[in-house]
Chain A
Amino acid sequence: MVTKTEEKQLNRLESQVDNGGGGAWEYLCLVRKLKVRRSVKVLKHGLWILNDSKKRSSLGPEEWTLYEQVAVAAMDCQSLDVAKDCVNVLQKKFPESKRVGRLEAMLLEAKGSWGEAEKAYSSLLEDNPFDQVVHKRRVALVKAQGNLSGAIDFLNKYLETFMADHDAWRELAEIYISLQMYKQAAFCYEELMLSQPTVPLYHLAYADVLYTLGGIENLLTAKKYYSITIDLTGGKNTRALFGICLCTSAIAQLSKGRNKEDKDSPDLQSLASAALEKEYKQRASDKLSALTLAFKTLKVSS
Chain B
Amino acid sequence: MGSGGELRYEISQNAYIKLVLHSLKHKTSAVNGVFLGSSCDDVVQIIDSVPLFHNHLGLLPPLEISLIMIEEHYAALGLGIVGYFHANERSDDVELGNVAKNIGDHIYRYFPQAAILLLDNKKLEALPKGERSAPCYA
Contact = CB atoms under 8 A, between A and B. Distances in A.
Interface of A: 37, 144, 146, 174, 177-180, 182, 205, 207-209, 211-212, 239, 242-243, 246, 290-291, 293-294, 297-298
B68 A208 contact: no
Given A212-B61, A239-B62, A177 B68 contact: no
Interface string B46-72: 000000000111111110110011001
Given A37-B28, A146-B90, A246-B65, A178 B72 contact: no
Interface residues of B, number: 24
Given A146-B90, A207-B61, 18 more contacts: A37-B28, A178-B97, A179-B98, A182-B58, A205-B56, A208-B59, A208-B60, A212-B58, A212-B59, A212-B61, A242-B61, A243-B61, A290-B69, A290-B72, A290-B73, A293-B69, A294-B72, A297-B68
A177 B72 contact: no
A291 to B, nearest CB: 7
Interface of B: 28, 30, 55-62, 64-65, 68-69, 72-73, 89-90, 92-93, 97-99, 102
A144 B60 contact: no
Most B CB contacts (10 A, CB to CB) among A37, A178, A180, A293 go to A178
A208 B69 contact: no
Contacts of A182: 58
A298 B61 contact: no
Contacts of B62: 208, 239, 242
Contacts of B92: 146
A293 B68 CA distance: 9
Contacts of B57: 178
A37 B61 CA distance: 28
Contacts of B99: 178, 180
A179 B99 CA distance: 8
B61 A211 contact: yes
B59 A178 contact: no
A298 B69 CA distance: 11
22 contacts: A146-B90, A146-B92, A177-B59, A178-B30, A178-B89, A178-B99, A179-B98, A180-B58, A205-B59, A207-B61, A208-B59, A208-B60, A208-B61, A208-B62, A211-B61, A212-B58, A239-B61, A242-B61, A242-B62, A243-B61, A294-B65, A294-B68
Given A294-B68, A297-B72, A298-B68, A174 B61 contact: no
